[in-house]
Structures are given as structure tokens and as C-alpha cells.
Structure 1
Amino acid sequence: MKITGSTAAEIYECIREAVQVGTLQPGDSLPPVRELGEELSLNRNTVAAAYQRLVKAGIAMTQGRYGTSICEQPQAGEQEGLSKDTALIDLADGNPDPDALIDISTYISGKWPRPFLYGDETVLPELHRWGKEWLAQDCPTGFELELAHGAVDAIERLAAAHLVSGDKVAVEQPCFLGTINALRLSGMHAVGVAIDEEGIVPESLEAVLKDGARAVLITPRAHNPTGCSLSNSRAKEISKVLAHYPNVFVIVDDHFALLAETAYYSVIPETSTRWALIRSLSKALGPDLRVAFLACDAGTAERLRTRLAPGMTWVSHILQTIIARCLIDKGTIPHLNQVRLQYSERRANLRRLLDGIGISSFESSDGFNVWIPIQGDLKDVGYELAKRGWLVRLGSAFTVQDCPQALRVTVSKLPDDLAQAFATDLKASLLQPKPAP
């Protein structure tokens, strides 16, 4: 195609329109800056400015001596959720057990507060008090509290508040599906950091921060997909690393907090100027409630409020009323304690069954997933399991840089008899000979 324009803005718009209509496709190379400048009789700096704008907008990417080319546009990858294939037993959906969720209809009846209007406070006083008390012991002093529409929404809002397209964000490798998609669609560059049974590995984190990561996103417990949680000693090591990078934005996604068995250990050092702690209610009270507490420093809160303003996208006070009634109810915590035990037993039962037939699994300490390292082709194993009636999530879904050779199995709805059947079928699937080419 012919690129036209007499200013950087006109060149930018010409190329942008060509991408939108499909004349330029992902991977197509743009003319060298000098060559296009000569063709248009323009200073090369004008062309360079247009290309820089394209890169900043996520339309193009620079590859050094290989020039500038059109980018693949951000797309969401795999999503958590139920499969459309109802013939399979779904151990891939990442959902809580619906029978373990609290009956929210209990909290809908009764007198409702006055109608809330544009300009009202964005958080109900009773929910604000509950959240402040819950988070106070785990946050630096002077923190402020907001609400978001779930953990992924909170991550997206935090990224928009402090980061720009192209910024590097350190994340666990393997990484949660929602986090990968949120960062990808925000134009961020996720960089994987190694984890083990105690959580994120400090030396790996240090290397990524030295390489210019502007933010780090850490799951302190019930890491999805592996189930690992930070030990106290590991949290202290991570905090020491982060203390040397006070301007790195520290985001802690404590998504399983209401159901967590393991203790919370903070990684946020006193030197951090920008930090946030997210605690979603989705796993405990239900994904459709779409609410998460978001504690953060005052500067971050100020930026968040430009988008969570009472005239724009605050969290519905109707939802807040239901949640406040539920959390304040004296029966809620005992119920959640029973659910926590149920998930723990189902996770431990599957790991015990697998161990008994010689299949190792990750030393998960929380959550309702079991992470099973696999030797051989993941797709072959997944296919063999599907033939036997099981759907699992392949490790490839959680890829940051390197594809994890593992399966994630959600055990929240897996009773003992089905767990035994699954373990037997997994063993058979691993032993199934690979078909000849």
C-alpha cells in the first residue's frame, strides 16, 4: 500500500486506517524511516515520530535493525468457566462448588436503604467499616479502601492508573488466566517469574526487576493454577527484594482470602510508594457478585477515584447492601469454615490417590485446584482424558513465556468416588502409547 501524509499525525492516521480495514496485516513490515522520509519529501524525524506513536498505541512494534512491523492486536486467551461440552465431567472450569455458596436470596428481603444517586459516596459505610477492619492488620498504615468489580477488574484499573502500554509487569509463571488476559488487553508485557512450593522465587524476581519491570503482581496464597502459598520466610525475602525498588508498583492479589487455610504474609515493604492489596469475594460468595475490596496507598486511591467516581462506574449499592448483610451475618463465617474444610479434603484426597498410583502433584497448600506435572505431550494426555469423559485445563493456558508441562484439575466439585475414577483414568491416559506418525 502507499503511505501518505505531510505530518507525523497524518502518517500515523494513514497507517492506522490501513490496519483497521485490513490493508496492513499483523507481521507486515513498514518502510524504513529514511526510505519513507525520502519518498514523502519529509525529514526522517517526522516519520520516526509517526512510528513512535504507532508503537505507543500498540499498532506497531520496533525490532531494532529488523525495522518496524504491524503488531498482532491484543486478544483474550482462554477463559475460566463451564464447558459447552456437557458430555464431559468438567474439571477445568475453575469454579467454586455452587452447592457450597451462600444463598444470597436470604439477604434480599427486608428494608432497603434509600435510593442512591449520582454524587453519593461510592462505598456503603457498613461495608467500608467491615473492609477496613478485615484489611487493617495486613496493610501499611494510612491505607485507603475502594471497591472494584472483582479481582480482574481491580487489576485492569490499577494498571490503567499507573502503567502505560508496553510496560513490563512481573507475574508468576505459570500465571492465572484472568491476569494474563487483563494485562494483554491493557497492552502490558507480562514477564514470567519462577515459583516453587513456597511461592515466587526471589532470585527470579530480582532478575526481572533489574530488567526494567515497572510493576509486580503476586498471589500470596492459593496461587492459581498451582495452589502454592507464600511461607513467612519467603514473603520476607520477597519484601527485601522489593525494598530496593521503591517505585515498582506492587499489586497483591489475595483472591482466596475468605476461604484461605494458610496465613497471609505481606510482601509490601515500607519503602514502596505505590502498592495495592486486592481481596475478591468471588470464590467465597459467588463469581456473579463481581465485587472485590481494594486497599492501596493514597496516591493510587486518588487515581482510581477518577474512574470509580460516583457519576461513572462505582460498584452498585444494591450489590453492596447484599454483601454487607451477608458478611455481617453471624452464620457466614462458620459456613465459610465448613466450605474451606471441604475444599481442603477434596484437594488432599485427589493428591493422595494420585500419589498412591505413582503420579506426583505440586505441593499445593490452598485453593481448590491440583497442579499435576506431566511428561509427554499435553494435548495427547488431554485428548485421552476427554475420550474417557474428563475435561481438564492444559498448562499451556497459563503460559507467560514458557509452556508449563502440567494439568490443572479443579476439585471443588469432585467427590471421593469420582476422584478415584479420575485418578485411574489419568494413569491410563499417561500409559496410552502415542499414535504412530
Structure 2
Amino acid sequence: MEIVGKTAAEIFDSIRALTQAGSFKPGQELPTTRDLAATLGVNRNTVSMAYQRLSAAGIAVTQGRLGTFIRKQPDPGEQEGLLLGSPLADLGSGNPNPVWLPDIGAALTRKPYRPRLYGEATVDPEMEVLARQSLTGDCPGQFEVSLTSGAVDAIERLLTAYLVAGDKVAVEDPCFIGSVNTLRIAGLQAVGVPVDTQGMSVEGLEQALAQGAQAVIVTPRAHNPTGCSLSAARARKLRAVLARYPHVLVIADDHFSLLAATGYHDVIPPSAKRWALVRSVSKMLGPDLRFAFVASDEQTAQRLRLRLAPGTNWVSHLLQDAVVACLSSPEVAKQLVQAREDYARRRDLLTAALGVQGIAVTSPADGLNLWVPLPGDSHQTVLALAQRGWLVRGGEAFAVQAPAHGLRITVSTMDEQAADAFARALSTSYRP
């Protein structure tokens, strides 16, 4: 079969049908616009319009002078969470400690549920007040409040509100698995920005923006997987870089927020025209709530609301009531303080135990995980640990462009005995 058509729409439909039929394989190069225009007897601009539409639809990828290629189907990649049925001690899940998740049912008994109907405000007034109390002071000036089904849902909605398949997005490298998968499925190009103990690299961000990145996703603290957080100085420098690109969408994913031991340092410049600060409750109240606050500029909020409108798709008011009940509770507030201190203690336990064995971690660290850098591929070390009864996450799953050789170890349920036992197991499985 050959490409046919006289209009951009007909050429688009022809190539799409050939791709769906398997005549064009993933990675296969399409004819140049000049050659295809000559073959079909049409204007070169007509073919260019068809190729642009193929790129926007995620069917093809245009790489400038290198040509236009049929896009490879996205690899679903690894997923966060427990490996159900595994007999191994799971240090790779990324989960919070269930002990520190509040009793939502008990909290809701103090706030009776009121049924809502189609057309009511998508954000409950009490939730609006609570969100503004949490977000005011951390945003550049005035902001609007939206709600989404978790941080990953927020990031996906924000990206699709402005970007099309093939656009570049600057992300930390290594990067949170959920963000990597979101970009891959949307057909967006991840541009990796190196991180160090102070967070995202200033020079790396400069390069990514110079390469045409249309959006930036940055983790201000408790970066997953390395645990690093932005210093005040680093945040200030990143903010200065972003100020020179006011059209770029800036997303701050502050997923650990109330549990973070480190302070929040804002990277969103006042000149930013498109920005959002996302705060999920997954780590503090439980992943199953599927809930996140989003503070953003007015235009971005309007775009989010096109897909979060009353009568079509909004965050359940029952979930909003649950979050309000928990975050308004003195008992839950006390529990969050205890959880923050306990996670810090567990990070310190494992850091010290590994230090006794001569194994260093990326430090200082915040969050639920520690990162052990490795000089090469982690596969053999992961297998060796599994043979000794331990399940950890290999760093390569978090890689964007640069190799991410290391181990991500979830410490949320780590105690002193387990820390010592795991450190000894890692010592016999790997030596720097």
C-alpha cells in the first residue's frame, strides 16, 4: 500500500490507516515532504500540514532535518507500589507507613456528609479556605485553587492543557517514575536535568530551556528517588533562569509538603505566565484518597476547569470532606508531626547502618526513600539482595537520559534491626 491523498486531511488519514494496518512500523521514517509532495502532485506545504497533524496526534515524531518518523508505542514502564505476593522484605514500594495514616472514617464522623448535586461548586468552600491557608505565601502573587485526583493526575492535566505530542518537558534526572510514565504515554519528550544534593542543576535547566523545553517539572523537596531538596540559593538561581522564559509552564510538585523536614523554597518567578504548585495528600493521608491541591495562575485554572467542570468530571465532595476533616483535626495535626519525626529517624537509622558498612547514601535526604549511588548497573546487586530476602528498586527505572545507577530504598517501615540486617546484606551483595 502507498500513501495517497490530495489534501492534508487525506494524507493524514492515509498514513494513519497504513500505521494502524502495520504497513508502517514504529521508528520507520516517512518520505521527506519534498519527495512525498512530488509523488502525490501536491504542494509541499500540504504535506507539511499533514505531518504536523500526525505529530500532534502522537502518530509521528518530527525531528527537524533528521526527518519524520512513526512514533514508537510507549513502554508502560515500571510502576510504584507493593509487589503483591512477594516473600521478600519490601523496601522498594515507595509507600508511607500505614501506622501514620489517619483513621479517615473516624474523622468523617465529626463532619456529617451533605449530598451535592450537579452544578454545585467543584471546590467546597471549606476546602477552598483550607487550601488557601496551605498555599498562601508559597505562590507568586494571586492564585486560583483547583483539585485533582492526586499529583500525577494534576501533572497530566496541566501538561495536556498546554502541550501537544512531541513537545519537550524538562524534568529531574533521575526522575519520579510516575512523571516519566506520564510523559511517555502523552508522547512528550523528557529532557533530563541533572540533580545534586541541592536539587535541579541550574546549568542543566539552562540547557533544557535552550533546547526548546515548553514545560518544567521540579520537585522542591524530598525528590523521588534521591531524597534531595532545593536549597534557598539553588531555588533563587533556578527562579532567575525561569524568569527569562516566562512562556514556559512551570510545575512545582511538592508531594511531601506537610511531612517534609526541609523548608519550601519557591522556584516560580513572578513573571511566569503559566505555573502551578501541586500538593498531594497521598503521603500524609494515604494514596487511596487520590487527592491533590493545585494553586495556579487564572488562565491555567480555567483550562483545568474545562475538564473538571460540575456535571462532567470533578473531585468527589466526599473526598473533599474527608480531607477537610483530617487536616482540620488537632489529633491528625499531632500525628503528622510525629510521622515527620519518625520518617527522619528511620532515614537516620539506615544511613548510620550503611555507614558502618562503608556504604554512602545521597545526603542530606528527605522523604520516604534513600538513594545509594552505584558505579554501574544495579541489576546484579538487586538480584543478590533478592536472594538474601530483600526487595529494592533499581535506579535505572528512574533514568531519563543519563544512566541512573543506584538503589532506591524505602525506609518508611525500617527499624534498627532491619536497618542493620539490610546493611549487612547490601555489604555482601555489593562493594564500591
| TM-score calculated relative to the size of structure 1 | 0.95
What CA distance in whole angstroms lies between the structure 1 residues aligned with 2:110 and 2:65?
A: 68
Deviation string 1:38-73 (CA, Å, 9 cap, x unpaired) is 433333333333222212222112345553321102
Q: CA offset at residue 304 of structure 1?
A: 1.1
1:101 aligns with 2:101: yes
8 Å Cα contact 2:111/2:321 also seen in 1: no
Alignment of 1:339-350 (within 5 A): 339-350=339-350
Structure-2 change in CA distance of 1:204 and 1:37 (3 Å): closer
Structure-2 change in CA distance of 1:241 and 1:110 (3 Å): closer
Report the equivalent of 2:424: 424
8 Å Cα contact 1:280/1:291 also seen in 2: yes
Gaps of 5+ in 1: 433-437
Q: CA offset at residue 111 of structure 1?
A: 6.1
Structure-2 change in CA distance of 1:28 and 1:204 (3 Å): closer
Report the equivalent of 1:161: 161
- Fraction of identical pairs, as percent: 53
What CA distance in whole angstroms lies between the structure 1 residues aligned with 2:106 and 2:243?
A: 46
Alignment of 1:58-137 (within 5 A): 58-64=58-64, 66-109=66-109, 112-137=112-137
| 1:314 counterpart letter in structure 2 | W
Q: CA offset at residue 201 of structure 1?
A: 1.6
Report the equivalent of 2:150: 150
| 2:79 counterpart letter in structure 1 | Q
What CA distance in whole angstroms lies between the structure 1 residues aligned with 2:160 and 2:260?
A: 29
What CA distance in whole angstroms lies between the structure 2 residues aligned with 1:318 and 1:259?
A: 24
Report the equivalent of 1:266: 266
8 Å Cα contact 1:195/1:201 also seen in 2: yes
Report the equivalent of 1:354: 354
Q: CA offset at residue 196 of structure 1?
A: 0.9
Report the equivalent of 1:56: 56
Report the equivalent of 1:369: 369
Report the equivalent of 1:435: none
Deviation string 1:197-235 (CA, Å, 9 cap, x unpaired) is 111121221222122211111111101001111111211
Structure-2 change in CA distance of 1:8 and 1:263 (3 Å): same
What CA distance in whole angstroms lies between the structure 1 residues aligned with 2:214 and 2:66?
A: 26
What CA distance in whole angstroms lies between the structure 1 residues aligned with 2:84 and 2:220?
A: 32
What CA distance in whole angstroms lies between the structure 1 residues aligned with 2:361 and 2:248?
A: 34
Structure 1 segments, 4+ long, off by >4 Å, are 63-66
8 Å Cα contact 1:91/1:390 also seen in 2: yes
8 Å Cα contact 2:220/2:252 also seen in 1: yes
8 Å Cα contact 1:58/1:73 also seen in 2: no
Alignment of 1:3-22 (within 5 A): 3-22=3-22
Report the equivalent of 1:184: 184
**Which deviates the most, 26-35 or 316-325?**
26-35
8 Å Cα contact 2:226/2:369 also seen in 1: yes
Gaps of 5+ in 2: none
Structure-2 change in CA distance of 1:382 and 1:316 (3 Å): same
Structure-2 change in CA distance of 1:39 and 1:214 (3 Å): closer
What CA distance in whole angstroms lies between the structure 1 residues aligned with 2:243 and 2:52?
A: 33
| 2:62 counterpart letter in structure 1 | T
8 Å Cα contact 1:226/1:364 also seen in 2: no
What CA distance in whole angstroms lies between the structure 2 residues aligned with 1:154 and 1:20?
A: 31
8 Å Cα contact 2:145/2:293 also seen in 1: yes
| 1:43 counterpart letter in structure 2 | N
Structure-2 change in CA distance of 1:392 and 1:225 (3 Å): same
| 1:39 counterpart letter in structure 2 | T
What CA distance in whole angstroms lies between the structure 2 residues aligned with 1:81 and 1:363?
A: 24
8 Å Cα contact 1:168/1:215 also seen in 2: yes
1:2 aligns with 2:8: no
Q: CA offset at residue 348 of structure 1?
A: 0.9
What CA distance in whole angstroms lies between the structure 2 residues aligned with 1:209 and 1:253?
A: 19
Structure-2 change in CA distance of 1:106 and 1:113 (3 Å): closer
Report the equivalent of 1:329: 329
**Which deviates the most, 31-40 or 365-374?**
31-40
Q: CA offset at residue 5 of structure 1?
A: 2.3
Structure-2 change in CA distance of 1:262 and 1:22 (3 Å): same
Q: CA offset at residue 6 of structure 1?
A: 2.8
**Which deviates the most, 155-164 or 57-66?**
57-66
8 Å Cα contact 1:191/1:401 also seen in 2: yes
1:195 aligns with 2:181: no
Deviation string 1:334-376 (CA, Å, 9 cap, x unpaired) is 1011111111111111111111111111003310100000123
Q: CA offset at residue 88 of structure 1?
A: 1.3
SS in structure 2 at match of 1:175: coil
What CA distance in whole angstroms lies between the structure 2 residues aligned with 1:68 and 1:269?
A: 36
What CA distance in whole angstroms lies between the structure 2 residues aligned with 1:189 and 1:393?
A: 24
Structure-2 change in CA distance of 1:65 and 1:277 (3 Å): closer
Structure-2 change in CA distance of 1:48 and 1:210 (3 Å): closer
Q: CA offset at residue 31 of structure 1?
A: 3.0
Report the equivalent of 1:173: 173
SS in structure 1 at match of 2:69: strand
Q: How many residue pairs were aligned?
A: 432
| TM-score calculated relative to the size of structure 2 | 0.96
SS in structure 2 at match of 1:39: helix
| RMSD (CA atoms) | 1.7
SS in structure 1 at match of 2:131: helix
Q: CA offset at residue 295 of structure 1?
A: 0.5
